[in-house]
Amino acid sequence: MSVGNRVCLNDLSTDHEKYSIPGIGARHHTMPTQEFRNTLFTHLLVAMFGMGSWVAVNSLWVELPVITKILPEAWNLPAYLTVLIAFSNVGPLLVTLAHRFSPGLLNEHCLIYSIQALGVISSVALALTWDRIVLIGGERHSVAFLTLAFALAFVCCTSNVTFLPFMFRLSSKYIKTFFVGQGFSAFFPCVAALVQGVGQLECRNSSAANGSQSLQPHYLEENFTAGTFFWLLMGLMSISLLSFAGLARKSNSKQHTTHNGKELCQLTTESEPTSKTPAPFCTTRNAYLLILLAVSNALTNGVLPSIQTYSCLPYGSTTFHLAVVLGNLSNPLACFIAMFVHSRSSIRLGVLAFLGLLCGVYILTLAAFSPCPLLLGSSMGVVLVVSAWMLFTGLFSYVKVVIGSILHEAGHLALVWCGASIQIGSLIGALIMFPLVSVYQLFTSGQACVDICGQ
């Protein structure tokens, strides 16, 4: 008997029992249901695993309005955070170089466990010490927060070149779910910040020394502290770690299934391939997709987020919160749609990216005219800016998840470069916008409770 056609003796000895048991049809009827439940549970694990990729950095950004009121760096913190994220790209750089020059050197499972454990530990330390101040050269600095922010940024940046390659071990149907989870990494912190009451204010009459009356902003106290928010971050990071542990266990036991202590061997033929041969990676189309992916992430992770306040806040805090929440909600929604409507055409992907770019141009135009953007004071202006953010995020999210699915078919190395392209694009976008916003101050913010546009 050839190796390809061997059959387990345990199965042969019980064949007559299988076909003589009453109700065997019912047992076979329940098998698809159990398989469906296992598949659904795996989708949940993949989504929560993907959620841990950028949840830490997104949490730091949404919590800035709270911590800037306490830490000595104040509103210079966004600039510090941008620089720290840029330096943390040393992580994905080292991983990519290791894959390129020493294939097989890195243990993928151990590497993911290590960076996720670092994320959980850093989140705990952040919740306990985020407001600790240290005197350096006679000046007060939040060394603890900045150090832990760098550690969390290192975790998030490195996840792009470790999480995606691991997904090659799973079926291609799960890659879309992974991007849905990445969308949740922005959505969950935004919902938590809204429940916390970040940035809520009311305008109150204030009397000056000369007796004149004016409106002054009064920021309302948050529903819970920044420390509690960082404990929530630790919970999300822990969920992601546990989800990866479940996926790693599934991938390791994929070829060693047991049932009631008896080995189950599947009949195979020598002509059947044991694994699917990956599609070629070094092609013109894949190069185009990687460039499109880098540009998409430069816009969604670097360029547009840095001017979101300038484009939305002039219309009011409610408009800003709607744009943030609905924009982040459109990310996982677009990834979910991609699970059923999957357009693989390079031309269609380019058209969708161009439509997203048009929305981005409109948002940039609003930010350029801040604090008096187009249609200020009208409901149409509010609808347009919120819709622009939703379409911008949704279109590029769809493009990214489709590109990730296509590259999944090209093998493990393709997913490594997929993560590298995401990170390179994000870095370039951040480096372009940082001097424009923080150094040259090309964008002007409005003043709360002060009408400077004559509305």
pLDDT 10s digits, 178-219: 999 998 998 999 899 889 988 777 778 877 666 677 777 777
Tell me: do 105 and 196 sit in the same domain: yes
Q: How far apart are CA 307 and CA 324, in angstroms?
A: 12
Predicted confidence (pLDDT) per residue in 433-453, tens digit? 888 887 788 888 777 777 778
φ, ψ of residue 233 to 5 degrees: the values are -60, -45
Of 272, 289, 308, the residue at which a domain comes to its end is: 272
Instruction: Assess whether the previous peptide bond of 371 is cis (omega < 30° from 0).
Output: yes
Asked if residue 79 is part of any domain, the answer here is yes
Boundary residue ending a domain (272, 289, 310): 272
How many Å from the N-terminal Cα to the C-terminal Cα in the chain? 87
Phi-psi region of 373 (alpha: psi -120 to 50; beta: other; left: phi over 0): beta
**Same domain? 293 vs 169:** no
Q: 237 and 298 share a domain? A: no
Cα–Cα distance, 162 to 100 (Å, whole number): 14
The answer to the question of residue 454 being in a domain is no
Cβ atoms of 318 and 385 within 8 Å: the answer is: no
- Residue 11 pLDDT > 50: no
Q: Is residue 455 part of a domain?
A: no
Residues 33 and 79 in one domain: yes
With a cut of 80, say whether residue 126 has pLDDT above it.
Answer: yes
Question: Which tokens is 67 given?
Answer: 């911590």
The structural domain count of the chain equals 2
Helix (H) or strand (E) holding 441: none
CA 59 to chain centre: 11
Answer yes or no: do 289 and 188 share one domain. no
Domain identity same for 380 and 235: no
pLDDT (0 to 100) of residue 254: 58
Residues 362 and 213 in one domain: no
Tell me how far apart the alpha carbons of residues 170 and 415 are, in angstroms, rounded to a whole number.
12
Residue 222 in any domain: the answer is: yes
Stated pTM of the model: 0.79
DSSP 8-state class, residue 400: H
pLDDT in tens, 409-418: 888 888 888 9
Q: Mark which of 226, 250, 272 sits at the end of a domain.
A: 272
Radius of gyration of the chain (CA): 26
List, as one string, the DSSP characters of 257-302.
-EETTEE------TTS-SSPPPPPSSSHHHHHHHHHHHHHHHIIII
Q: Check whether residue 240 and residue 298 sit in a common domain.
A: no
In a domain, 333, yes or no: yes
Residue 123 resides in a domain: yes
Say which amino acid occupies 16. Answer: H
pLDDT of residue 33: 86
CATH number of the domain that residue 232 is part of: 1.20.1250.20
User: In terms of residue numbers, what domain contains 366?
Assistant: 279-449
Both 83 and 13 in one domain: the answer is yes
In a domain, 350, yes or no: yes
> CATH number, domain at 366?
1.20.1250
Same domain, 224 and 286: no
Distance of alpha carbon 237 from alpha carbon 116, whole angstroms: 7
- SS3 state at 403: helix
Kind of pairing between the strands at 262-263 and 258-259: antiparallel
Pair 189, 311 in one domain? no
Distance CA 311, CA 313 (A): 6
Burial class (CB in 10 A: 0-12, 13-18, 19+), 178: buried
Average pLDDT, the chain: 83
Same domain, 225 and 352: no
For residue 113, being part of any structural domain is answered with yes
Q: DSSP label at 302?
A: I
295-299, 312-316, 451-455: least confidently modelled range:
451-455
Question: How far from the centroid of its chain's Cα atoms is residue 296's Cα?
Answer: 14
The predicted pLDDT at position 36 comes to 86
Model confidence pLDDT, tens digit, residues 127-158:
999 999 999 888 899 999 999 999 999 999 99
